[in-house]
Structure 1
Amino acid sequence: MMVRDAKAVQNEQLSTMPADLKPGAVRDIAGALNALLADVYALYLKTKNFHWHVSGPHFRDYHLLLDDHAGRSFAITDDIAERVRKIGGTTLRSIGHVNRLKRLLDNDADYVTPMDMFAELRDDNKQLIAKMRETHDLCDEYGYVATASLLENWIDEAER
């Protein structure tokens, strides 16, 4: 393939874009989903950080609980990104991109008590659920039922 042909292919829209979504809807939904994806990655990494650094008399239980929570967060990342691609958008490309879009705060503290870890993750999870609801409302506004339905499942899972 010639370089100019490769560049042309790179700039093509994904051919699976739903015909009934207007370009503004694609832009808005893809933007909301990418921000949500960045938040999920941020929550995943924070949870793994806490998993790696938890200590104390309940270490084993907390360690396993945090690992399970991280796994559940990571499990939806591919689905979110694929929704973006399905409508013809582009998705996150790097850690820097994640950092620019995420709304959850990092925790780089040298030591965090287990109870503070759980309180912070609880608050982050509440914030993530609120962002999921906003994205759901946006999908409803544009009549994009498929992604709205997935968001309902993710909200339900996050509320557990």
Structure 2
Amino acid sequence: MAKVRALVQRKKVSPLDTPTDLKPEGIAAISQALNVLLADTFALYLKTKNFHWHVSGPHFRDYHLLLDEQAAQIYATTDDIAERVRKIGGMTLRSIGQIASLQRVKDNNADFVPPLDMLRELMGDNKTFAANLREAHELCDKHEDVATASLIENWIDETERRTWFLFEASRGADRSGH
């Protein structure tokens, strides 16, 4: 009779489990906050791109290029946000429907939006986005997630720069009489 060694039962691990030293409640809270920011980022990207595609008027080229540059910068952060969620062991967005259910950035489906209104609306959206990033930063501080907090600091700086450019572009147009 052959000796058979009993198999040791191992803890069942999710195939998407990611090792981290963050506490489970921190992972859940930060992942949720980042997923909402990710939904906002996609919504802000699409709105910026929408305005890029539909801008018209005497400052067309300047606004068209500005909005394209800003949309590219916004889109570039989506992968960083989603990968950060995964790095800390969370799950990220899976669909447009999930984005729509989480986004706080309001869509603009108007057939025509005057160029200055576009700039001002995006300026307001970016200001709100910066405030939401700060809230997420506080949450990261609370759960001692310095890496995510550090990334968020860079995203705040980028968002404030976009806000500044939109402000100056819309203000300059007012002074020139257009």
Normalising by structure 2, report the TM-score. 0.81
Whether the 8 Å CA contact 1:14–1:86 is kept in 2: the answer is no
Instruction: Report percent identity of matched pairs.
Output: 63
Q: In structure 2, what is the Cα distance between the partners aligned to 1:154 and 1:106?
A: 21
Task: Name structure 2 gaps, 5 residues minimum.
Answer: 1-11, 162-178
Structure 2 counterpart of 1:18: 20
Q: Which contiguous aligned blocks of 4+ residues in structure 1 show a shift greater than 6 angstroms?
A: none
Q: TM-score, normalised by structure 1?
A: 0.90
Q: Distance in 1 between matches of 2:70 and 2:127?
A: 14
Give the match for residue 155 of structure 1: 156
Indicate whether 1:103 and 2:101 are aligned.
Answer: no
1:139–1:148 Cα contact (<8 Å) kept: yes
Provide the C-alpha distance between the structure 1 equivalents of 2:17 and 2:135, rounded to a whole number of angstroms.
25
Shift of 1:50: 0.3
Higher relative contact order (CA 8 A, sep 6+): 1
Whether the aligned pair in 2 keeps the contact of 1:14 and 1:87 (CA below 8 Å) is: no
After superposition, the CA RMSD in angstroms is 1.2
Q: Aligned residue pairs: how many?
A: 150
Between the aligned partners of 2:16 and 2:135, the Cα distance in structure 1 is: 26
Letter in 2 for 1:32: A
Consecutive unaligned residues in structure 1, runs of 5 or more: 1-7
Q: Give the Å deviation of 1:140.
A: 0.3
Separation of aligned partners in 1, 2:143 and 2:79: 22
SS at match of 1:76: helix
